[in-house]
């Protein structure tokens, strides 16, 4: 059985040795060769195998080599990832998958699999060959629907740049809030400490997804990827990440301490504000300078993309400067973040169009007093009209009102 899909590049050296792939109790062994003189490799399904779907076109690796991926069934319930650096062979894999054809692979290599701890990947090059095979001692069986569902302890065993199909997480604490420049556009990210009953790690949430994640809530995340933060494997969202609310995600019995960024609460009138709305391409995320909201379509200004798209599809990201004069303290100039602006409009400025920068600025300046939560590097995490905050939480201090999520306390898993 073969299922092609797009993922990240597998490794492997020229001199990797031959290895045996077990097929389970009811299947025979499958051998993957280690070079030009390698033994033939039998993979696939038998007469009763079912068709599998195609999941991706060839993509580029970090060293600009084109490749695609496939999933091989090498036993009754045994599967291995294939990384093929010969895109012209994709049609052969697709044909075999669609026709439920068992195949033999020649001149392949093996590589340690960072996406399947303890397993390995099969590397296919232009020297490799794929031939049809009559039958195998196990029937075709697609990977179970839960094969992409991982837990935190599974994630901690992965290497960097590995896809995490589905994972349920509980959001514990906000660790950091930053704005970074990517392809000429400012993009915001928030880093959260997350967990399930098996362990704990960190999750970086980018841009449009920030507003979908709240502290103390549980979510199902689809299509994340991994990276390394020191020795720990952490998670990050991708342009294709989907987030849905869920319940019942547990947490470890003990929580270890983590360092949380300090947040300061300021209260005072706004003395100046400047908001900048920057449209970005929803596909390549490059900032757009010539977009006209009156036109129905707009061609992306990036030479790499240049796709003509409907104007409403372009994402608007806010940035800017907010200056507040707290009582008995010098004025403070702070950088507005997209999530802070969007949160303000959603909660306290319903009559204001989020894309109407001048109207938003007038609304902020008309308020007699603001309560602002700002982090150590001067980014506005949240801000709100002081009167609305006091009415909603009359019995709380200002610190309790806006510092609940960003308090510089530590709790979490204990080693």
Cβ burial 69-101 (10 Å sphere, 16+ → b, else e): bbbbbbbebbbbbbbbbbeebbebbbebbeebb
φ, ψ of residue 55 in degrees (nearest 5): -120, 0
Q: Quote the tokens at residue 392.
A: 């909603």
Q: Are 263 and 408 in contact (CB under 8 A)?
A: yes
pLDDT, tens digit (0-9, with 9 covering 90-100), for 222-255: 989 899 998 899 999 987 788 999 998 999 988 7
The series of mean pLDDT values per 10 residues for the chain, 415 residues long, is: 44 38 35 37 35 45 69 78 85 84 87 67 88 81 66 90 89 88 75 94 90 90 90 89 91 81 87 88 83 91 89 86 90 91 78 66 90 89 85 56 37 28
Reference 121, options 109, 131, 133; nearest CA is 109
Measured distance CA(134)–CA(45) in Å, rounded: 10
What residue ranges define each of the domains in the chain, with the CATH number in brackets?
2-132 (2.40.50.140), 149-246 (2.40.50.140), 263-278+315-402 (no CATH)
pLDDT at 53: 34
pLDDT value of residue 305: 85
Of 275, 273, 270, which Cα lies nearest the Cα of 367?
Answer: 270
Q: Round to the nearest angstrom and report the end-to-end CA distance of the chain.
A: 42
DSSP code of 400?
A: H
- The pLDDT of residue 61 is 54
Give the model's pLDDT for residue 195: 94
Q: Where are the alpha helices (DSSP H) in 119-275?
A: 152-156
Predicted pLDDT at 97: 83
Count, residues in the chain: 415
H or E stretch covering 398: helix 398-402
What pLDDT shows up at residue 34?
36
Beta bridge partners of 20: 31
Residue 324 is inside which H or E element, if any? strand 315-324
Cβ proximity of 205 and 221 under 8 Å: no
Outline where 16-115 has alpha helix (H): 90-98
Q: What is the pLDDT of residue 279?
A: 86
In the prediction, which pLDDT does 393 show? 65
Q: Tokens 């409907």 correspond to what residue? A: 310
CA distance to 118, 152, 202, 203, 237, per residue, from 230 (Å): 21, 17, 12, 14, 19
Amino acid 59: pLDDT: 57
Q: What is the pLDDT of residue 298?
A: 94
Dist CA 149 CA 388 (whole Å): 42
Range list of H helices, 292-396: 338-348, 357-366, 386-392
Residue spans of beta strands (DSSP E) within 183-307: 185-196, 199-206, 218-229, 232-246, 263-268, 270-280, 297-299
Is the whole model's pTM more than 0.75, yes or no? no
Distance CA(109)–CA(18), nearest Å, equals 8
Angstrom distance (rounded) from CA 142 to CA 163: 19
């Amino acid at each position: 059985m073969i299922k092609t899909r797009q993922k990240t590049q597998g490794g492997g050296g020229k001199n990797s040795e031959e290895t045996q792939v077990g097929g389970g109790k009811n299947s025979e062994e499958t051998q993957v060769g280690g070079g030009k003189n390698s033994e033939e490799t039998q993979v696939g399904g038998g007469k009763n195998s079912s068709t599998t779907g195609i999941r991706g076109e060839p993509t580029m690796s970090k060293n600009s080599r084109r490749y695609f991926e496939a999933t091989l069934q090498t036993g009754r319930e045994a599967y291995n990832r294939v990384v093929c650096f010969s895109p012209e062979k994709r049609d052969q894999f697709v044909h075999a998958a669609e026709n439920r054809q068992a195949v033999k692979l020649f001149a392949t290599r093996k590589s340690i699999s960072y996406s399947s701890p303890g397993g390995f990947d099969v590397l296919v090059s232009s020297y490799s060959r794929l031939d049809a095979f009559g039958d195998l001692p196990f029937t075709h069986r697609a990977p179970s629907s839960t094969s992409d569902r991982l837990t935190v302890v599974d994630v901690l065993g992965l290497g960097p740049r590995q896809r995490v199909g589905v994972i349920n997480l509980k959001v514990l604490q906000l660790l950091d809030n930053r704005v970074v420049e990517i392809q000429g556009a400012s993009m915001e990210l928030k880093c959260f400490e997350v967990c399930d009953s098996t362990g704990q790690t960190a999750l970086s949430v980018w841009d449009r997804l920030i507003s979908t994640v709240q502290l103390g809530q549980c979510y199902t995340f689809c299509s994340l990827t991994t990276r390394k933060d020191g020795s720990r494997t952490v998670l990050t969202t991708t342009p294709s990440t989907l987030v849905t609310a869920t319940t019942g995600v547990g947490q470890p019995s003990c929580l270890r301490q983590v360092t949380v960024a300090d947040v300061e609460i300021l209260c005072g009138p706004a003395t100046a504000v400047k908001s900048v709305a920057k449209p970005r391409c929803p596909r390549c995320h490059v900032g757009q300078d010539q977009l006209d909201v009156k036109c129905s379509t707009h061609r992306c200004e990036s030479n790499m993309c240049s796709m003509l798209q409907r104007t409403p599809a372009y994402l608007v990201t806010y940035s800017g400067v907010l200056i507040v004069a707290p009582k008995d303290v010098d004025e403070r100039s702070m950088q507005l973040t997209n999530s802070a602006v969007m949160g303000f409009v959603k909660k306290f400025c319903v009559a204001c169009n989020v894309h109407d920068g001048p109207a938003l600025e007038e609304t902020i300046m008309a308020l007699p007093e603001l309560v602002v939560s700002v982090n150590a590097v001067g980014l506005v995490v949240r801000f709100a009209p002081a009167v609305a905050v006091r009415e909603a939480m009359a019995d709380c201090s200002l610190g309790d009102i806006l510092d609940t999520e960003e308090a510089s306390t530590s709790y979490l898993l204990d080693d």
